[in-house]
């Protein structure tokens, strides 16, 4: 029988399934760092790509394009699937048998919104735990909106998003 101490020991990839939700418009190296770190802790990771305008924002890329950009980067991890969703996040988590929702936090500015989402999701589904990974320092300034703004004005996207995403973004914003 597991003792309290042994239950506290986190072995490799023993946390069950986690859902990592987001708009990912487009995926950045900051997102990919969070996905990679979650994939080293959880047995299975489902990246959930929102297929509806959230907070009234239209996306540059379709959900399918956003899914494909992420798939191209996470195949090597071996335990990550990418799926679009257009229902409540907690329902999507339940459908996928996830015990946890994992999100990245960059700065205090993320905290207020995430705190609100956390309380709402906890009310809807107290059995699903929301967990937060702090962004790595080199990505703490990086956001999809910042990348889009840089791309719109011809800024260099090297090191911010995968090369394929950079060229598709430049193409899309030139239109
Ligand atoms: O910051 P993002 O990437 O636009 O976040 C999107 C998402 C879904 C992670 C965020 O809006 C959230 O946590 N929503 C919880 C409420 C919910 O279930 N909304 C429906 C999404 S289809």
- At residue 2, does pLDDT exceed 50? no
Q: According to the model, what pLDDT value does residue 15 have?
A: 76
Q: Is 29 considered catalytic here? A: no
pLDDT in tens, 69-80: 999 999 999 999
Residue 89: band (very low, low, confident or very high) from pLDDT cuts 50, 70, 90: very high
Q: According to the model, what pLDDT value does residue 10 have?
A: 52
Which residue out of 21, 67, 143, 147 has the highest number of ligand 1 atoms within 8 Å of its CB and is therefore the one to mutate? 21
Mean pLDDT (whole number) for 145-167:
95
What is this structure's pTM? 0.90
Residue nearest to atom 5 of ligand 1 (CA): 22
Ligand 1 pocket (Cβ < 6 Å) reads: 21-23, 50, 52, 54, 86, 88-89, 117, 121
Percent of the chain with pLDDT over 70: 91
- Give the active site residue among 23, 29, 31, 66: 31
Token match 């500015």: residue? 109
Task: Give the span between the Cα atoms of 84 and 139, in whole angstroms.
Answer: 24
Percent of the chain with pLDDT over 90: 82
Please give the backbone phi and psi of residue 9, each rounded to the nearest 5 degrees, phi first. -80, 120
Instruction: Report in angstroms the alpha-carbon separations of 48 from 2, 8, 29, 52, 150.
Output: 33, 28, 17, 12, 25
Mean pLDDT (whole number) for 14-38:
96
Task: Give the span between the Cα atoms of 26 and 175, in whole angstroms.
Answer: 16
Q: According to the model, what pLDDT value does residue 13 have?
A: 67
Q: According to the model, what pLDDT value does residue 11 have?
A: 55
């Amino acid at each position: 029988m597991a003792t309290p101490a042994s239950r506290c020991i986190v072995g490799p990839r023993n946390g069950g399934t986690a859902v990592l939700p987001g708009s990912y418009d487009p995926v950045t190296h900051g997102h990919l760092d969070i996905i990679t770190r979650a994939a080293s802790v959880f047995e299975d990771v489902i990246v959930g790509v929102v297929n509806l305008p959230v907070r009234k924002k239209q996306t540059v890329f379709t959900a399918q394009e956003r899914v494909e950009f992420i798939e191209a980067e996470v195949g090597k991890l071996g335990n990550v699937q990418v799926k679009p969703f257009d229902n409540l996040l907690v329902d999507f988590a339940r459908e996928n048998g996830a015990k946890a929702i994992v999100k990245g936090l960059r700065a205090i500015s993320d905290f207020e919104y995430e705190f609100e989402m956390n309380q709402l999701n906890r009310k809807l589904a107290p059995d699903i735990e929301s967990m937060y990974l702090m962004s790595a320092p080199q990505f703490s300034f990086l956001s999809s909106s910042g990348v889009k703004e840089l791309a719109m004005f011809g800024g260099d996207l090297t090191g911010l998003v995968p090369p394929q995403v950079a060229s598709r973004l430049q193409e899309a914003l030139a239109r």
